[in-house]
């Protein structure tokens, strides 16, 4: 295992103390398993706490939701598993995948939405 992958595993295995205010109701309702705030391991906000539930980052004491593709700040991020795109960018990804035939043979969904 290379150093980059080892760092990723260690980062993802240790939760941050910070709590995402957007996902707090889920943690209260369903338990600590829904507390998924980890340090971002790459990109513009590397080292900042990031919520694995809604995709928000804690930057300078403020929780923000920023599209990874266009950089727009939005109320809700979209994407499979950890959301990372605004709705417009996610729709573009879906359309490009449909056009190029990147569709799961099992569930017939584009790869952006497939969890097979």
pLDDT (tens digit per residue) in 36-49: 899 988 788 888 99
- Two tokens at 11? 């980062």
Question: Shortest CA distance to 36 belongs to which of 79, 49, 85, 115?
Answer: 49
- For residue 13, the model assigns a pLDDT of 55
Least confident among 4-13, 19-28, 69-78, 91-100: 4-13
Q: Is the pLDDT of residue 84 over 60?
A: yes
CA 96 to CA 87: how far, in whole Å? 14
Share of the chain above pLDDT 90, in %: 50
Q: Is the pLDDT of residue 114 over 50?
A: yes
- For residue 35, the model assigns a pLDDT of 78
Tokens 């998924």 locate to: 36
Reported as type and span, the H/E element at residue 33 is none
The confidence band for 10, taking pLDDT boundaries of 50, 70 and 90, is: very low
- Which residues lie closer than 8 Å to 93 by C-beta, 6 or more apart? 85, 110, 112
Handedness of CA 14, 56, 115, 2 (dihedral sign): negative
């Amino acid at each position: 295992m290379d150093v980059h992958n080892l760092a990723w595993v260690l980062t993802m295995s240790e939760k941050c103390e910070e709590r995402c205010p957007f996902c707090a109701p889920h943690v209260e309702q369903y338990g600590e398993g829904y507390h998924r705030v980890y340090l971002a391991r790459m990109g513009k906000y590397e080292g900042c706490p990031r919520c694995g539930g809604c995709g928000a980052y804690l930057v300078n004491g403020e929780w923000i939701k920023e599209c990874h593709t266009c950089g727009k700040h939005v109320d809700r991020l979209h994407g499979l598993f950890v959301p990372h795109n605004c709705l417009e960018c996610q729709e573009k990804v879906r359309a490009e995948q449909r056009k190029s035939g990147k569709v799961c043979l099992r569930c017939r969904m584009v790869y952006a939405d497939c969890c097979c």
